[in-house]
Amino acid sequence: MTSLNIESAQQDHLRLFECLRAAGWSEGRNVPIPDDWLESMADIGFFPDDYQEKFLRSFGGLRVRVQDVNRRGKPTYAEVFVGIGDQLDLMDAQDHLGYIQRLAGTADLFPVIMSGGNAVFALKDARCLAIEVSFRGCAWASDPFEMMDWLLFKVRGPKFDLRVLTMEERPPIFRW
């Protein structure tokens, strides 16, 4: 089991933790994981391990929204929600569980973050896999904090990898 090393993450992701604190996070935060999250995910075939549970107990339910300005000077927004969201329905996670597990290389994953058109799954070793809801692409990060840095600030950490999925990696309904 990988430990949830919040001290190190705070040092590596200063801007992110400022936003998480503003959203209500504090050291020692320990909230229950809603039963409806656990039940609905078990119905699909997702079961959290210790790392995923610790992450959700510390950050679950937090919503972070940041504003930026694009090249044309127009405001843009990015948001992450730590928990379960509609993205899983949009990607039809229940029917496409096998595709998700093949992309992850394991069945030991659990959804932990939702952001725009992405569902993010944490693995037992803390790595995170974001899958775009229509299976066009995916991204890998070393942990949920590196992933949130990308989702919110478009900062790619040293282990971050982004790629387009091949037609074979996509469920048939998303092959166009």
Q: Please report, for the domain that includes residue 137, its CATH number.
A: 3.40.1580
Res 70 pLDDT > 90? no
- Based on the structure, what is the number of domains in the chain? 1
1 occurs within a structural domain = no
With 60 as the cut, is the pLDDT of residue 1 above it? no
SS3 13: coil
Looking at residue 71, its pLDDT comes to: 85
pLDDT band, residue 3 (cuts 50/70/90): low
Average pLDDT on 80-96 reads: 96
Q: How many other C-beta atoms can be found within 10 angstroms of the C-beta atom of residue 141? A: 25
Supply the mean pLDDT for the chain.
94
Q: How far apart are CA 72 and CA 24, in angstroms?
A: 32
**How much is the pTM?**
0.94
Burial of 21 (0-12, 13-18, 19+ CB in 10 A): middle
* Cα separation, 158 vs 115, whole angstroms: 21
Q: What is the pLDDT of residues 27-48, one digit of tens each?
A: 999 999 999 999 999 999 999 9
The 10s digit of each residue's pLDDT in 134-155 is 999 999 999 999 999 999 999 9
Average pLDDT (90-106) is: 96
Residue 123 belongs to some domain of the structure:
yes
Q: Which domain holds residue 144?
A: 6-67+75-174
